[in-house]
């Protein structure tokens, strides 16, 4: 298929779901040797949300997905494909199927996609391929993570950073181009910098055969190196995405970057010579919610009227893998 035959794709709605429970920096100071004075200036994080043990990632993701479908003025039966971007599925065979079932999106094929904090960008890019080729008409992309279940709560270097949340967007094939361009990258040589591993422990099955049995490890991160990677690579991927989209940074109304650290956003904005006020920031309230952080930031701007239908946006994720990537889009349903 030539590119001229590709159908335009629009991002028509966004919604989020976060747990009610708030964990502040001061409260974390009772758990590990830390303080708001250390955390806030270095990260921009004041508090994060924590999912209670009796609620699941599927509950959170389904709530975000249901609301995104309603805001798109659609019915779950209108959805052709559900992609769940997550690194913290409770079901390792994939949680997208459970979400599809609860939503009643019976016509939709559903699967998980794992790309850490770049998951939302990779999932939107993946869903768009199905719509652009005409294979499907409408996609629900949900990005949800519950990193509170994966951190070592005695490790102050990591446990202060992460929080729980979910965000969802509906993508639709239309007449006018919403999605304008993308650039997706991976570098597996950096895979040890940020990990959430299952390690195989040996188990003697018979006299002659040993099998490995998975044991979950906590999140581990080389913060300094990941920081350097983000500040080095993200401006380049943003510039390439803008180039593919025929845009210049100064035309973009809102930048929606992965919410890992306010200092990273400040440094990237400075490198791109864009006022940092055009970079959405919600990490003070939610911390780093991995895949969910971009739709949380996007929804914040859309709900406050900071990004309106037809305005230009760029979203960029970066994180474990290493993975990073960006998409440029004109927001909203553009054919009405």
Structure-block tokens of residue 308: 């309106």
Per CB under 6 A, does 46 bind ligand UT7?
no
Per CB under 6 A, does 34 bind ligand UT7?
yes
Per CB under 6 A, does 48 bind ligand UT7?
no
Instruction: Write down the catalytic residue from 25, 159, 261, 288.
Output: 288
CA pair distance 134, 123, nearest whole angstrom:
17
- Environment class of residue 248 by beta-carbon count within 10 Å: exposed (0-12), middle (13-18) or buried (19+)? exposed
Instruction: Write down the catalytic residue from 25, 159, 258, 261.
Output: 258
CA pair distance 46, 61, nearest whole angstrom:
24
| Integer Rg of the chain from CA | 20
User: Which lies closer to ligand UT7 via its Cβ, residue 92 or residue 224?
Assistant: 224
258 is catalytic: yes
Per CB under 6 A, does 150 bind ligand UT7?
no
Per CB under 6 A, does 103 bind ligand UT7?
no
CA pair distance 44, 161, nearest whole angstrom:
10
Per CB under 6 A, does 282 bind ligand UT7?
no
Per CB under 6 A, does 260 bind ligand UT7?
yes
Residues 285-304 contacting ligand UT7, CB under 6 A: 288
Report the residue from 58, 60, 113, 117 that binds ligand UT7 according to the rule CB under 6 A.
117
Per CB under 6 A, does 146 bind ligand UT7?
no
CA 236 from chain center: how many Å?
Answer: 19
| SS3 state of residue 58 | helix
Structure-block tokens of residue 60: 């959170």
Using Cβ positions, the residue closest to ligand UT7 within the complex turns out to be 223
117 is catalytic: yes
Instruction: Write down the catalytic residue from 117, 191, 203, 261.
Output: 117
Stretch that binds ligand UT7, among 47-55, 75-83, 105-113, 259-267 (CB under 6 A): 259-267
Residue 138 phi/psi, 5-degree rounding, is -135, 135
Q: In degrees to the nearest 10, what's the CA dihedral of 234, 235, 236, 238?
A: 90
Residue among 2, 11, 18, 334 at smallest CA distance from 176: 334
User: Which lies closer to ligand UT7 via its Cβ, residue 137 or residue 157?
Assistant: 157
Q: Which residue numbers are catalytic?
A: 117, 258, 288
Q: List contacts with ligand UT7 (CB under 6 A).
A: 34, 38-39, 42-43, 117, 156-157, 160-161, 194, 223-224, 226-227, 230, 260-261, 264, 288, 319
């Amino acid at each position: 298929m030539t590119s001229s035959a590709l159908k335009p794709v629009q991002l028509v709605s966004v919604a989020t779901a976060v747990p009610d429970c708030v964990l502040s920096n001061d409260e974390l100071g009772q758990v590990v040797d830390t303080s708001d004075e250390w955390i806030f200036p270095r990260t921009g994080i004041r508090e994060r949300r924590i999912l209670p043990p009796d609620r699941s990632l599927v509950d959170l993701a389904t709530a975000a997905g249901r609301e995104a479908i309603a805001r798109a003025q659609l019915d779950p039966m209108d959805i052709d494909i559900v992609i769940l971007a997550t690194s913290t599925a409770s079901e390792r065979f994939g949680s997208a199927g459970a979400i599809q079932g609860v939503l009643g999106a019976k016509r939709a094929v559903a699967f998980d996609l794992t790309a850490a904090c770049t998951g939302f960008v990779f999932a939107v890019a993946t869903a768009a391929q199905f719509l652009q080729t005409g294979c499907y008409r409408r996609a629900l992309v949900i990005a949800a993570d519950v990193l509170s279940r994966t951190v070592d709560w005695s490790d102050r270097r990591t446990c202060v950073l992460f929080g729980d949340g979910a965000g969802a967007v509906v993508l639709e094939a239309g007449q006018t181009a919403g999605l304008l361009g993308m650039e997706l990258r991976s570098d597996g040589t950096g895979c040890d910098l940020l990990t959430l591993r299952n390690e195989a422990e040996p188990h003697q099955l018979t006299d002659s055969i040993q099998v490995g049995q998975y044991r979950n490890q906590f999140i581990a991160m080389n913060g300094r190196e990941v920081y350097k990677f983000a500040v080095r690579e993200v401006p380049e991927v943003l510039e390439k995405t803008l180039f593919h989209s025929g845009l210049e940074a100064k035309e973009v109304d809102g930048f929606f970057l992965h919410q890992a650290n306010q200092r990273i956003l400040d440094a990237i904005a400075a490198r791109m010579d864009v006022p940092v006020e055009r970079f959405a920031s919600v990490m003070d309230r939610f911390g780093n919610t991995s895949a969910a952080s971009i739709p949380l930031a996007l929804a914040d701007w859309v709900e406050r009227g900071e990004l309106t239908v037809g305005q230009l946006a760029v979203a960029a994720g970066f994180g474990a893998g290493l993975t990073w990537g960006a998409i440029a889009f004109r927001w909203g349903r553009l054919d009405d």
